[in-house]
Amino acid sequence: MSDVPSNKPYLIRALHQWCTDFGFTPFMAVFVDSSVEVPMEFVKNDEIVLNLSLEACHQLNLDNDWISFQARFGGIPRKIMVPVSHVLAIYARENGQGMSFPFNASQANKPKEVILDDVEKTKSTRPSLTIVK
């Protein structure tokens, strides 16, 4: 099951499209740590909410691993880079409809090898199925 890619970037793109198609303003809540490039003066409690509307951001790229765009904050153009793993929610500003995603902040700052070690530890304690030929 670990070989199956996450559906999170697809859901983010779908909800962004839904908001855009129906005239809503797509907002994205993001957990901020050292891997996120946003204007830190707008971060509160390790989170920031970003406007992803086509009017507010330019060169929007909703990749499978990263979300990037350029936007103005206080009139100053800034480059924004957010790992998809750090997206907490995407929703319409006007009615709050959207989706939130589970997030484990304690694993956000861990190196990838440590996360894989944690997965291996839980595998050994959980029941599992084995393919028999």
Is 62 a domain residue? Answer: yes
Q: How far apart are CA 109 and CA 117, in angstroms?
A: 14
The predicted pLDDT at position 101 comes to: 95
The predicted pLDDT at position 103 comes to: 86
Is 120 a domain residue? Answer: no
pTM: 0.76
What is the per-residue DSSP string for 3-36?
TSPPSHHHHHHHHHHHHHHTT--EEEEEE-STT-
The predicted pLDDT at position 3 comes to: 79
Is 84 a domain residue? Answer: yes
Candidates 76, 50, 72, 44; CA nearest to 62 is 50
Q: Number of folded domains in the chain?
A: 1
pLDDT in tens, the chain (133 residues): 567 889 999 999 999 999 999 999 999 999 999 999 999 999 999 999 999 999 999 999 999 999 999 999 999 999 999 999 999 999 999 999 999 999 877 656 544 444 444 444 444 444 555 566 5
Are 101 and 84 a contacting pair, CB within 8 Å?
no
Residue 79, domain extent:
8-103
Is 89 a domain residue? Answer: yes
At residue 70, φ and ψ (nearest 5 deg) are -115, 140
Is 132 a domain residue? Answer: no
Is 69 a domain residue? Answer: yes
Q: What is the domain-level CATH number for residue 33?
A: 2.30.30.220
Is 29 a domain residue? Answer: yes
